[in-house]
Amino acid sequence: MPFNGGSRRRSTPRRTAPGSRASSGGRSGRAPAVRTTELAEVHGVPLTLIRSTARRRTVSAAWRDGRLRILLPAGLAAGEERQWIERMIAKAPAPPAAHDDGPAPDDGSLAARAERLRARLVPEAPRPTSVTWSSRQRQRWGSCTPSRRTLRISTQVHGMPEWVLDAVLVHELAHLLESGHGPAFRRLVSRYDRYAEAMAFLQGVTFATGRGLSPDAVPDATPDQAADTES
């Protein structure tokens, strides 16, 4: 179920004066890029500031290891750089939520849960060959490969309310019959009475935390296309 999307926050600063490209002895080519790294804290936000001569037009920010990592063009005036840092702090999503040290997700229990839902709500769907948790699935809540009848649920869903997990499973089970999200698909998922509520819950998670299933990506809040391939 695609919650794709979401790229790093990226903006373009305006140069106050045109610059010239470095040349070496009249020969074409650029001088080697120079990067500097500084640890800082602004408004209580831990920052890693990376200034690069190779970065000329864009400023971007993403969470890395508990710090907001901001990439800046080298050579910005101090005042302009401060403005961009403030702006990127304001625009960046909240840091990814920390996970507790609870029990690891169990594939066997997940598959059994999916089978109960299939038998009760989508009996016309073929039985999946596998239903597994996926820690590699960072930009979507779940996915389905109908040709292999495999379902994968992101470990990011682990620990959410059970009715939300059930909605994600029903969504992927429905994709075993319907590859798109048209009327037939919507009729299938509507058999689960808390489906709309669960989708709203996931939208809220995406909006409130900005984690999207990835520290530096904000996903869409719609489930994945069934034609997804194994990741």
For 166-202, the pLDDT digits (tens) are: 999 999 999 999 988 999 999 999 999 999 999 998 8
pLDDT means per 10 residues in the chain (231 residues)?
A: 44 50 47 85 83 85 80 90 87 59 71 94 94 80 91 89 94 94 95 94 73 35 39 35
- State how far the Cα of 39 lies from the Cα of 41, in Å rounded to an integer: 7
Return left, alpha or beta for 67; rule: phi > 0 is left, psi -120 to 50 is alpha, else beta.
beta
pLDDT for position 22: 39
In the chain, which residues fall in CATH 3.30.2010.10?
107-209
The CATH architecture to which 107-209 belongs is 2-Layer Sandwich (3.30)
pLDDT for position 25: 44
Cβ distance 99 to 215 under 8 Å? no
